[in-house]
Amino acid sequence: MLEPRILSKRYERIHDQLKELFLKTENKISRMASTASLLHHKMPHFFWTGFYILSEGDLIVGPYQGTLACLVLEKNKGVCWAGVNRKKTIVVADVHKFPGHIACDSRSN
């Protein structure tokens, strides 16, 4: 893992790159795809990088980079659903310790 100061600088550069890219389109899918790709390739310790989209009451996989994802996440289980239900971002140090963790790939940490 990178030193916090270096990591902070890297996130600032990624933010600046995305800000510039986002000026080129309003399309949400294009923006999500670019975000997932940029984060995945600039943050080598990320195993899976992407989005789940709330659609008609289901969380379905959106643009992502990494190993095969669950197409639809089991309702009200895991970190993604916790974020939806709490209406906020949830940062988890160890997903295996999160109640109801859904592992679409057993190598995911």
Residue 53 neighbours by CB distance under 10 Å: 13
Residue 25 lies inside a defined structural domain of this protein: yes
Please indicate whether residue 52 or residue 46 has the higher confidence score (pLDDT).
52
Mean pLDDT within 6-15: 92
What global pTM score does this model have?
0.84
| Per-residue pLDDT tens over the stretch 57-82 | 999 999 999 999 999 999 999 999 99
Residue 109 lies inside a defined structural domain of this protein: no
Residue 105 lies inside a defined structural domain of this protein: no
Query: SS3 letters for the chain?
Result: CCCHHHHHHHHHHHHHHHHHHHCCCCCHHHHHHHHHHHHHHHCCCCCCEEEEEEECCEEEEEEEECCCCCCEECCCCHHHHHHHHHCCCCCCCCHHHCCCCCCCCCCCC
Its domain, for residue 46, covers 4-97
Confidence of residue 109 (pLDDT cuts 50, 70, 90): low
Residue 72 lies inside a defined structural domain of this protein: yes
pLDDT of 104: 80
Q: How many domains does the chain have?
A: 1
Report the length, in residues, of the chain. Answer: 109
Residue 102 lies inside a defined structural domain of this protein: no
| CATH number for the domain that contains residue 72 | 3.30.450.40
| Per-residue pLDDT tens over the stretch 14-28 | 999 999 999 999 999
